[in-house]
Each structure stands twice: as structure tokens, then as C-alpha cells.
Amino acid sequence: MIHHSGFWEIYIAVGIRQDSKGSWAGEEDGGAGKCPKSTIDTVARNSTVTHLKLSFVLLNFYPLPRLVSFIYLYIYISFLLNLSPDSSKRENKSCFTTAAAAMCGILAVLGCSDTSLAKRSRIIELSRRLRHRGPDWSGIHCYQDCYLAHQRLAIVDPTSGDQPLYNEDKSIIVTVNGEIYNHEELRTKLVSHQFRTGSDCEVIAHLYEDYGEDFVDMLDGMFSFVLLDTRDKSFIAARDAIGITPLYMGWGLDGSVWFASEMKALSDDCERFISFPPGHIYSSKKGGLQRWYNPLWFSECIPKTTYDPIALRQAFEEVHGFFLFPCYFCIA
């Protein structure tokens, strides 16, 4: 005899909690420069155990005892999520996600009135405040009154992708936080250029050479970057379409322009600062922020289609059904 067990829907939330010292999973309390070189292993060792919350919206197992149902459910969810009952394996999987989300830290100061070694040391000191974002490499490029610093978490091309990155003659310097998903496709459009690294972010310098400031909408990924063109001392800064990677902008008392991944690198040296808006680019040539992300749906055009409540309801039901996760069990 076949019994239909009803259907249930599961919403799963996986989160990273804080440990007893108040540090997020994957972040050490040592401060700048105290994280070991192998980032993923470090995160795996120092992370706290993730917690898995299972919310059962509808659970109707008519013929099965409740205990057997929960055991079967646990095995099924473990299979779907590729989780092992071994807690150490679950921890490593979640830690990798945390490490990937941490990304890198960038700091750029452009147009300083002070170009002394003391100012350079100050920039390095402020950059170290972002060390927890990228423990694998620290880099800085100084050109006259401009400084670009970077704290790297090595994910793509960990051996040669140290930043800042350059074009062939190093006249264009870029520091990037994020990942460019379509970098391999973009490389095929840049066959005339010589790439020094396998980093996904190097394409930004070469795209700027070929397309100028209008290349940002060619990037598919999560990113925030600052690019300096030493040929005319112009610079641009941009953030991804929905602001996945953080970026802040500040202004110093001497008229300098600052960019950083976190406010802690700006708060002591800038008279004011703002959150850099997602989907925007700042150009020193044009003198302000401009939106580069302009999809068709972003316009404020008033729909001309006649209101149809039945069609609207059907559309909502289709979307609702798409996001649900129904499962059916047949028990002999």
C-alpha cells in the first residue's frame, strides 16, 4: 500500500556566530600582521562552529513516527548541502565561505600636500588597520602625492597576483577589492596586452587603457577599486552595482581625496567621509560621482500596461512557487 506523507517546505539559514572574545569567525585578535600565511587553513583553525537553523514551515508526516521523520530529514538535508555529520568538515566548509567573503582591503590617498616619508609611514599605518581583511600580502605604491595601498587575501592566482596591479609600463596603477567573474572572457578582448599575473583584477588596468572610464559596465562581479593614471595624474574609483564590497570616500583638510574599504582607515585623517554609493564611479576629470549602472528597469518610466489584477496574482504565485522547496515522500 502506498501512503502519501504530505509535503513540507524548509528554509535553511546558515550563519557565523561570534566567539567568546567577540571576534568574528576567521578573524584573529592579534591585529595587523599576526595572521599566518595560509589564509584558508588559518580561517578553518580559528573559526567558531557554524550554527544551522532549520525552520519547518509545514511538516506533515502522517504514516511515520516523528523521530524517524527527523532522522530521515537530517540525512536528506546533509545530502543536499553536501554536509557531513562530522562537525569539523561542516566547519571547514563554512570557514571557506567566510574567507571568501572577507576579501581584501584597499586604501588610496590622492592629492596630498605632504609627500614626506612621514606621510608614507602614516598611510602604511592606516592600511594596517585593514590587515584582517587581507593577511597574505601588504603592498603600497607611491607616485608623487598619490598613495595606493592594499591588503590582500590571496584567492585567485595566490602566487603572482599581489597588488597594486599595473599595466605594461606601470603608468596605470590599480588597487582592487573583490572578484571579476568574467575576467577570462575579458582577456580575449585584450589580446594586444601583456598580462603579468593570473589575477582576475588585472583586466581593469588594461580595460582602462582601451576603453577609458567607460569600461566599468563591462565588469561582471563584486568589486571596489581605485585606479590612478600617472600620465595625467587623473584617477577613478568605482563600486559594484549593488555594493557587495564595501567602499568609503573621504576628504582631507589639505584637499586630498581618500578611499578605503572601512571607515577606520579614514576617520582620523578626514574631515568628512561618506559611504561610496553602489553602482557609481568617481572621476577626477569629471569632478564628481556618476552612476555607471543604468539597467532598463532602473528608469522611473510609468508602466503603460493596463492594470490586470488576475495577471498580477498569477505572476506573484509563479514567483512564490519558484522560491519554495517542496518535497514529497512516498512510503511503501
Which residues are catalytically annotated? 104
Residue 111 half-sphere exposure toward CB, CA atoms < 13 A: 16
The reply to whether omega before 309 is within 30° of 0 (cis) is no
Q: How far apart are the C-alpha atoms of 281 and 239, rounded to whole Å?
A: 7
Under a CB-based contact definition with an 8 Å cutoff, are residues 220 and 235 in contact? no
Long-range contacts at 116-125 (CB < 8 A, ≥ 24 apart): 119/147, 120/147, 122/269, 123/147, 123/149, 124/149
Residue 30 half-sphere exposure toward CB, CA atoms < 13 A: 12
Q: How far apart are the C-alpha atoms of 258 and 27, rounded to whole Å?
A: 26
Q: What is the DSSP string of 126-190?
A: HHHTTGGG-TTEEEEEEETTEEEEEEE---SSTTT--SSEE-TTS-EEEEEEEEETTHHHHHTT-
Q: How far apart are the C-alpha atoms of 277 and 249, rounded to whole Å?
A: 9
Grid coordinates representing 104 are 581584501
> Could you give phi then psi for residue 76, rounded to 5 degrees?
-65, -45
Under a CB-based contact definition with an 8 Å cutoff, are residues 93 and 101 in contact? no
Q: Nearest-CA neighbor of 217 among 169, 244, 182, 249? A: 182
Q: How far apart are the C-alpha atoms of 281 and 8, rounded to whole Å?
A: 46
